[in-house]
Amino acid sequence: MFTSIHQLCDELILDFDSIPKERKDLLSKISSYIQERKDKNQEINLVYVCTHNSRRSHFGQVWSAVAANYYRIQNVNSFSGGTEATAFNPNAINALKEVGFEIDKLSETENPSYAVKFGPTDKTICFSKTVDDKTNPIANFAAIMTCSDADENCPFIPGVDLRIGTTYEDPKAFDGTDLQTIKYQERSKQIATECLFVFSQIK
């Protein structure tokens, strides 16, 4: 893992006490799912879902991959999806670059694919897609709803083992404002902290 990202994780885990108890109880349900799969030596598939699969769900995909690596939890696969495909938002990409991720664009289309690298050999592939895209698992996965709109508009997800709503405020509301950079970092780090908390519970 890149030193800058590892150091950020070292800092964020000190903020676990700032997570409200009710929120920790909710996040612990994801931990329990991961623990159960780990105990059975089964693959752990986590799909982060938001309406447009452009901001919060990608933060979830990226930071859960980082958290699994940070706590050395094996056989974890992180994905994302939405109720519609748009594109990985440039402001979200910049928020990740600002803290040390190396992000390479892999295609020149309206909805490009990106390799989001958090170590010399550690990466996850991000692009906007619907939750039922062929690159996402079709069974034996947890669907983690990162926005209330997706939570309401995805009442049924086939093949899911666990469907849980951990909604976050949308940084999109601050696009084009003086608070844009701050709010994207704030949301990214909130999701990072909660992903780290989830994996910190695994034995």
pTM of the prediction? 0.95
Model pLDDT, residue 158: 85
Q: Which residues does residue 104 pair with via DSSP β-bridges, in sequence order?
A: 115
- Taking alpha carbons only, the member of 197, 161, 201, 203 closest to residue 64 is 197
Cα 34 to Cα 201: distance, rounded to the nearest angstrom: 9
Q: Which helix (H) or strand (E) holds 192?
A: helix 180-200
The secondary structure of the chain in percent helix, strand, coil, rounded to multiples of 5, reads 45, 20, 35
What is the amino acid identity at position 115? Answer: A
Helix pair angle (180-200, 21-39), 10° resolution: 50
Yes or no: say if 33 and 61 are a contact pair by the CB < 8 Å rule. Answer: no
At 133 the pLDDT is: 96
- Three-state DSSP state, 136: coil
Full domain range(s) for residue 66: 3-200
pLDDT in tens, the chain (203 residues): 999 999 999 999 999 999 999 999 999 999 999 999 999 999 999 999 999 999 999 999 999 999 999 999 999 999 999 989 999 999 999 999 999 999 999 999 999 999 999 999 999 999 999 999 999 999 999 999 998 776 677 667 889 999 999 999 999 999 999 999 999 999 999 999 999 999 999 99
pLDDT at residue 157 in the model: 84
Residue at 12: amino acid letter = L
Q: Rounded CA gap, 73 and 57, in Å?
A: 21
- Selection from 172, 6, 174 nearest residue 101 by Cα: 6
CATH number at residue 74: 3.40.50.2300
When divided into structural domains, the chain yields a total of 1
- 34, 21, 48, 46: which is closest to 168 by C-alpha? 48
